[in-house]
Amino acid sequence: MHSFSRSWTALLDAVAGLPDEDFDKPSGCTGWLVRDLVCHLVIDAQDVLITLVTPADAPATTDAPGYWTLLPEPPKGDDPLDALIPRLAAAYGEPRWLKHHIDDVGTAAVRAAGLADPAARVRTQDMVLTVADYLSAYVLEGTLHHLDLVAHLPAAPG
């Protein structure tokens, strides 16, 4: 779980260090501002917490590389979930509330990952995989979104 903890702790630290004005700047995710991306990360952290407490007795149906479904083209923002994220992010109002929530939920996800049995199997999105594979998939998610976070913020730490 070390890689997950390292990548997500670095991501949480990067968000915590952003000045408020950076939340209204574009992120590396097409059509999303930094605040939208951070809101998406709150949902990711919630997914990690939910999945880690959703055990599966069935054999694994996928592994870390098989977890992600690649899209033939980048999202255009017209998917209902894509449209929901900016509305949720805007509802936070001030960036400090969004920072507080990602720190709270993200830190809990990092703690939960450290307590989880890597060999245990969990269920999510109609898939079964080991905790180790699931958290490895989220190392990729966290790393890519860390890059998205700082893509248009030259003063932000990498």
Q: Which domains does the chain have, with CATH numbers?
A: 2-150 (1.20.120.450)
pLDDT band at 108 (very low <50, low <70, confident <90, very high): very high
User: The tokens 């069935």 sit on which residue?
Assistant: 58
- Asked if 100 contacts 6 with a C-beta cutoff of 8 angstroms, the reply is no
Confidence of residue 158 (pLDDT cuts 50, 70, 90): low
How much is the average pLDDT of 128-145?
Answer: 97
Q: Give the strand pairing for 127-130 and 121-124.
A: antiparallel
pTM, whole model, 2 decimals?
Answer: 0.94
pLDDT, tens digit (0-9, with 9 covering 90-100), for 49-70: 999 999 999 999 999 999 998 8
Across the strands, what pairs with 128? 123
Q: What is the 3-state secondary structure (H, E, C) of 27-89?
A: CCCCCCEHHHHHHHHHHHHHHHHHHHCCECCCCCCCCHHHHCCCCCCCCCCCCHHHHHHHHHH
